[in-house]
Structure 1
């Protein structure tokens, strides 16, 4: 009877420990608690320090009636005060207490370091915990007093040593299998672990040391629990240990808060973070209490197997759901490691049972018969494997062919609808039908201009109306005042255009390096300026966007704007533009002296070199969006659920939605402008800022870029190379300009991840090409084969050494179709970085600290390659439009959106890429191969033809003319009476 009462709590504790471990691991990637190791540890140890004495107060006296280890009187009532005031105050100064305190605090610090650089960590190392415990036990070989079958397990030295050795060997092999399985199923973002002697390279060592500390901690707690010097003292001792650990970590956190950035991180917590910290801390506390209880009845290695198996099982369930495990187990090596993963767990349980340190059972023969552990584990594997087959999405290698077919139909329909009006009357009628209000004054002049330059788009300008709708909810006088505010503060880096009586002037106080942008913008407006009303415009001269309005305010602006437009729609008579505004446009700043350069605007705040996601993106999102529900802090692991809304079978199927950050919390760490922008001064107020590009969640007004209108990057003499003469290669050259590299932030920047992925892909692509080359070229002579291999080698070397102009002979079209080269590299020195990060980037991408950086090639080199990749920099990339016109196939990975988004269509004119880049090589593999080559050619030619029709300089002027007519009506005090009416 005593054995039964003793074993039931142990079995319950093992179940609770397994469930709590599974629960915590199921939340691991999505919980904000794990992003804050110090907060999480302090709260967990505080809860544990209080829970352990409480557990002793209410549970131990019941257990002590049956457990021979208790030294207390079972009839004595135990109070919490008695436990806390126990003689352990002296014992807390013992070496054992100091050792355990060091283990707890040190493992928290190491865990914090691992989380900070999680992309350099090794997944699955926790699987080696049973092995480390076995090794530790072998080194110590102390007698354990296990309450099994009513007697102590004494005299185990020789027998236990042999059993532990067998156990350690199996545990090591099992750890290797678990780590390998997790490695094979890993879906990474391409985050970079820098080369050279960087601190990030020691993260795996920190993980191993953390495991060693865990092994020491677990082993010593087991020794205390299974000792004979008083169980009540043990529980109180451990409670004191955890409370002291919480105090020590609190001191370290307060000390680190003298740094301003750390202070904000430590003190200002969102409600989401607070909730996650409480939930996960309580879950871990429950696990600690149940684990401490269990260590009084089971060997530490058995407890560690329970912990690691639970965590790895949860991980495998994730991979089953997203379809990764079926790919792993379709490979013979993955199947071998998978079988051993389950079988090894059964063998470990069997060896633990045979070595007399297995969990107790009521029968004394183990929870299951000892000779059935292996069979049980094998059956478990078969069940999980069948689950994998049932739950995994079908098809191992889906292609974008169905998406491409749909995109063609949708694009053709959009283009036909966008230009269907063939007369002014039809255009006016279509405008009213689409937008519910009359066109702005001088719409006839715009129509005349658009048709004179043969614009293919007459009717569809949804981008303009979406951009301007919130401003309809703001008074015209307020818009004018805010424009003036922008222009009278040069520190905001704004350029002004003043239009008065049809004449255009550029405002003063513009940095000389940016003056060209306003000169080009003035040239863009000249042909139609006489038809524009008087106005002042503030153009953002920085790359980054500037206006982020919280959702509740934006919805209020939108509702008021809809009401204002409804009042306009009801008017029977319409007025033209007028001259009188009250108050009028302010011009005092035009004559101001240089003292205004030092004036700072209270409406804009400096946010350079720091993460902006949760301050400037999250407030713009709905309450039920993923950004508001969880934080994906692991910058190493790909969040498939985050990209699922805009992906189909692994490819982007909704380009517009792919820019919405509200369902993509993982991107907080995967884009330079979100993680560490070089120049960011945003505002939460709806200022009328005109920007060349913006993030989906910002409210800047988009206008055609002076970079493109000024033809900063163009195809010389419009000389393009026919598709069948282009190299079948992926080509990119550029700078690491998408953020300011500080504290290792560059390791997850978009461009850095792409170049790093390309460097890895070059080796595999070249090996695959050479492997497939020989059998497919048996008809060639030795000299031909040697020539082909030389061409392949030359292409690869040009990829790794971009400073040299590619000089390999152009391969034949047939060879080019079967051979894909990857020709990608940064060029020049890294300069948007602090000294440490500049040096780390140089070593990582150029090989050594003394290596000369590759120099930029002639930009015209791009046109020789079929596959051209375009990626965000500090904002949008200005090279995309020339890519479209080149007849090559552009791939675009971007969060920034521009004025032409609605007229250039994904999978019809370019290949869209998710900024995680997990779809890049599958897309290239399809479009560069025989099956996808016709689609690649068709997309490239469609993009070129459409760009030459709809993305000319004249098309930019058509867009700008219409935008400013709409804006001129918005800033007019009589805007609800203004409009164009047919005579």
Structure 2
């Protein structure tokens, strides 16, 4: 650091023999400031540093304060002669007596800082206040206004205009402000240009923003976020003005570097004190103390970059006006932002009309005009500085930069989504679907099925495979050979011993507080384990009915079913990979066997049964109460807490995007995050779209990830059977009792032909994504969808305001014009009161979606109402959506936006049986407009094929066939002699 500072001193030497403080050679620090700003701006949304304002500010301030202190202590003392600031005790800083150790000397230097002066108090207050305000803005970034910082040059120049009005002496007519003649007029003109530039920049940033539909509710403090941003702007302006004055010696002479270093370090100490007290809250403690490696790396890297920018900016303020320094920073940031927007197509949209093109042009030319105009305002420490960026040719540079961005936009930026793009995706998906379906039923008899099994999975089929085959054929199952989902789910369990699997299963059932229900299969009979919550016992009763017809062919076993909606098992990537590798070796050992046997009659040790003893309601009440309070050391409660960085990123490869950067901006899309599974802005790889490892931006865009209602999870591989799971979890999928038990069913008697259905988008549901606390609901998937539908024109530029839904309980939402100008009505609303929320959030949700806190909520409607509409939307709730299978059977067109995956995932295909949507919802209205208009033929075809396939491959018989095969595989896994088990065809 000292060597770098010495180099900068040499580079900043004055050409007129002036001191370093008055040097006009500012080219190098200007470049450092611009490049540092550009670097930080390019990483702004992807850096974990900015989602932790207190950590980031404290570290940055400490680095900056240290740099300024070292500069004043070791560089300026050797290169300049000046009178240092004199401490209150009368000793000058340079000649102060040496203390017994370095700590005392440092404390003496800090105490010598004139903190009582107005400028010092203003600076420290502004630094601390800005950090607190930025922390609040970050927490509710979706309520912020983009581009307000571009008004910083205007704010500074307006301050100068108000403060430095010329005062003319009565006789001489001289201006006592000390400015050159005409300076006030030039400053006023500069202020007007700066205002116009701020407006143009803000408008351009708004037009190039890709929004996720996050909600800013009509309440406090959310609606005050723009005010917080304005206060931040005021703090920045005051800091620049007062630092500039201190550097130019307008408010006292002496070592300004030392003074600023002490002030900045003092501000860091105040922030550290405030941050300490926030750690007493459990959630805040996790956030503040347990930092990921990504967070630590980003904090260090960006703190160094910003500290470098601050140091360069402080140097410039000794010579260059504060407004010009502010312009350098904001212009660099805006240019980087526009560069990033080239590749996601938003610049094409923003500059597709004369207004957008004009404001975009002024963003570039305005910078040149402001820098050229600044030369004549007289706001500099030395007259007429020879600065390269004040040359008249800077306007030409700005025009050249604008032309460069335009050419990049036209050549490199993607175009709009065209109907033929969707048609190509449909054609490709159809080919892949045909291939899978034809390969899923190649076998014509039992021997071929056994041989196909061995060839596909490398081991012989499990015992009693012939019984499964007989059942599958008897119910005309279209899937005989392809059950890759089961083998993928069970592979890690081949990596642990059968005895350990049995032990962990019993552990789950011995702890009813964990919310597991058990089925005990013994001697061909199925019994329900005790200690199950009454509200969830129906699930086990349904599963008992599903299994009983084939239970006689199963070995004795105990099964632990997850009674919560949310998945439970997230094993760190390296550990899960080790299980899989061990599992592959174990399966290879089975494949090498010569002779195979049936299931063993017993296990050693046997399945424990002590916990199965029923407890009397009265006599055993103390024991029962104690049992329901018993906690497990293997499971952690993360309900109502963000889970992404603890439970998702740890299950991803070390080099995955989630372990490389954090996307914290809830309201702006991350184009690179969705690019791997999108083609021409529509989902082309449905399987990959559920993989969170390349989508760090979804940390805040899904209720389960940001605030789950119930989240008791483990990092240990427990044998948990769940109805659905996210890609990064290791739960074992099974056919859910919700659909098997007909909790929501399609009534064939109320079927409506396609041509009689309304060309409308329909959705009714509850806000069940997660628990709404601390405003978390504002980014939930379902809330974003309903909000987008109610504010359609804001999110979809071609929306028509011609027709509205007539339901009086539904907010009047406009129709959209399809690609052939056919209107598609939008009929979307929440129903009922909002639950799963804190009181404040319940009121906010009710006000946002129903109009006022006392408004009557929309009533629930008959589920069969869905079939009157062509376009049905299916969205994740707390987990999977139970309505999707009825949607498939209805002959309406199902659209699905989901991260949760279920047992039928491999057999239901996107673009053939349903329309996939990205959970960011950026594609929804484009796709709806296609299928509601020109693509109506494709829509009817997909709806018809989805219905036919659901009636063929998603029946209760198909669920039972899947469960039968799953439990045969599981029975082999938990058998001590599993290496010797298998079916041999005759």
TM-score (norm 2): 0.91
Distance 2:163 2:745 in 1: 73
1:192 Cα deviation after fit: 0.7
Distance 2:435 2:372 in 1: 66
1:732 maps to 763
Answer whether contact 1:143 1:157 (CA < 8 A) is retained: no
Distance 1:727 1:57 in 2: 78
Distance 1:359 1:904 in 2: 72
Where do residues 109-148 of structure 1 align in structure 2 (5 Å cutoff)?
A: 109-141=132-164
> Does residue 656 in structure 1 map to residue 687 in structure 2?
yes
Distance 1:546 1:615 in 2: 13
Answer whether contact 1:20 1:286 (CA < 8 A) is retained: yes
Answer whether contact 1:799 1:822 (CA < 8 A) is retained: no
1:672 Cα deviation after fit: 0.6
Answer whether contact 2:489 2:733 (CA < 8 A) is retained: yes
**2:828 is paired with a residue of what secondary structure?**
strand
1:830 maps to 834
Answer whether contact 2:371 2:389 (CA < 8 A) is retained: no
**More deviation, 814-823/886-895:** 814-823
> Does residue 378 in structure 1 map to residue 377 in structure 2?
no
1:156 Cα deviation after fit: 1.5
Among 189, 192, 205, the alignment partner of 1:182 is 205
1:734 Cα deviation after fit: 0.4
**More deviation, 253-262/177-186:** 253-262
1:160 Cα deviation after fit: 2.6
Where do residues 304-453 of structure 1 align in structure 2 (5 Å cutoff)?
A: 304-357=326-379, 367=388, 371-395=392-416, 397=418, 399-453=421-475
1:572 Cα deviation after fit: 1.3
1:204 Cα deviation after fit: 0.6
1:367 Cα deviation after fit: 2.5
Distance 1:680 1:616 in 2: 10
**More deviation, 319-328/880-889:** 319-328
Distance 1:545 1:112 in 2: 32
1:154 Cα deviation after fit: 7.0
1:17 maps to 33
Distance 2:381 2:353 in 1: 35
Distance 2:289 2:389 in 1: 50
1:470 maps to 492
**1:627 is paired with a residue of what secondary structure?**
helix
**More deviation, 78-87/343-352:** 78-87
Where do residues 650-689 of structure 1 align in structure 2 (5 Å cutoff)?
A: 650-689=681-720
1:934 maps to 937
Distance 1:477 1:701 in 2: 18
1:560 Cα deviation after fit: 1.4
Gaps of 5+ in 2: 1-13, 87-91, 99-104, 168-174, 616-623
Where do residues 513-552 of structure 1 align in structure 2 (5 Å cutoff)?
A: 513-552=535-574
Answer whether contact 2:69 2:261 (CA < 8 A) is retained: yes
Among 27, 41, 54, the alignment partner of 1:38 is 54
1:148 maps to none
> Does residue 800 in structure 1 map to residue 811 in structure 2?
yes
Distance 2:361 2:671 in 1: 26
Any idea what the Cα deviations from partners look like across 1:36-90, whole Å, max 9, x if unmatched? 101111111111111112122344357748xx99999xxx997999997569826
**1:400 is paired with a residue of what secondary structure?**
helix
1:33 Cα deviation after fit: 0.8
Which of the pair is proportionally richer in helix?
Answer: 1
Any idea what the Cα deviations from partners look like across 1:796-851, whole Å, max 9, x if unmatched? 8674269xxx9x9xxxx999982211111110001100001000101011110110
> Does residue 950 in structure 1 map to residue 953 in structure 2?
yes
Answer whether contact 1:54 1:80 (CA < 8 A) is retained: no
Among 828, 841, 847, the alignment partner of 2:845 is 841
Distance 1:708 1:694 in 2: 16
Answer whether contact 2:796 2:925 (CA < 8 A) is retained: no
2:315 maps to 293
Cα distance change on mapping 1:718 and 1:960 into 2, 3 Å: farther
1:777 maps to none
2:978 maps to 975
1:565 maps to 587
1:365 Cα deviation after fit: 6.2
Cα distance change on mapping 1:79 and 1:302 into 2, 3 Å: farther
1:202 Cα deviation after fit: 0.5
Answer whether contact 2:493 2:579 (CA < 8 A) is retained: yes
1:624 maps to 655
> Does residue 49 in structure 1 map to residue 65 in structure 2?
yes
Where do residues 61-80 of structure 1 align in structure 2 (5 Å cutoff)?
A: 64=80
Any idea what the Cα deviations from partners look like across 1:99-127, whole Å, max 9, x if unmatched? 22111111111111111111111111110
1:382 Cα deviation after fit: 1.4
Aligned length: 940
1:903 maps to 907
Q: Quote the RMSD (CA, aligned, Å).
A: 2.8
1:378 Cα deviation after fit: 2.2
> Does residue 106 in structure 1 map to residue 129 in structure 2?
yes
**1:3 is paired with a residue of what secondary structure?**
coil
1:869 Cα deviation after fit: 0.6
Cα distance change on mapping 1:56 and 1:243 into 2, 3 Å: same
Cα distance change on mapping 1:90 and 1:344 into 2, 3 Å: closer
**1:537 is paired with a residue of what secondary structure?**
strand
**2:645 is paired with a residue of what secondary structure?**
helix
Distance 1:937 1:333 in 2: 40
1:138 Cα deviation after fit: 1.4
Answer whether contact 2:819 2:929 (CA < 8 A) is retained: no
2:789 maps to 758
Distance 2:984 2:643 in 1: 46
1:923 maps to 927
Distance 1:646 1:730 in 2: 25
Among 715, 735, 741, the alignment partner of 1:710 is 741
> Does residue 493 in structure 1 map to residue 515 in structure 2?
yes
**2:742 is paired with a residue of what secondary structure?**
coil
**1:265 is paired with a residue of what secondary structure?**
helix
Among 885, 902, 905, the alignment partner of 2:889 is 885
Answer whether contact 2:84 2:94 (CA < 8 A) is retained: no
Answer whether contact 1:185 1:319 (CA < 8 A) is retained: yes
2:117 maps to 94
Answer whether contact 1:503 1:529 (CA < 8 A) is retained: yes
1:198 Cα deviation after fit: 1.8
1:165 maps to 188
**1:354 is paired with a residue of what secondary structure?**
coil
2:505 maps to 483
Distance 1:188 1:817 in 2: 25
1:592 Cα deviation after fit: 4.9
Any idea what the Cα deviations from partners look like across 1:723-781, whole Å, max 9, x if unmatched? 1111111110000001000001101111111111111117888984466xxxxxxxxxx
Cα distance change on mapping 1:976 and 1:815 into 2, 3 Å: closer
Distance 1:97 1:447 in 2: 83
1:662 Cα deviation after fit: 1.0
**2:375 is paired with a residue of what secondary structure?**
helix
Answer whether contact 2:128 2:267 (CA < 8 A) is retained: yes
Cα distance change on mapping 1:576 and 1:817 into 2, 3 Å: farther
Cα distance change on mapping 1:755 and 1:859 into 2, 3 Å: same
Cα distance change on mapping 1:536 and 1:347 into 2, 3 Å: same
Any idea what the Cα deviations from partners look like across 1:335-393, whole Å, max 9, x if unmatched? 011011111111111211122347989x9665267544434322321122112222212
Cα distance change on mapping 1:832 and 1:814 into 2, 3 Å: closer
Where do residues 203-282 of structure 1 align in structure 2 (5 Å cutoff)?
A: 203-227=225-249, 232-282=254-304
Cα distance change on mapping 1:334 and 1:763 into 2, 3 Å: closer
Answer whether contact 1:672 1:740 (CA < 8 A) is retained: yes
Answer whether contact 1:497 1:506 (CA < 8 A) is retained: yes
1:488 Cα deviation after fit: 1.4
Gaps of 5+ in 1: 145-151, 772-791
Answer whether contact 2:441 2:481 (CA < 8 A) is retained: yes
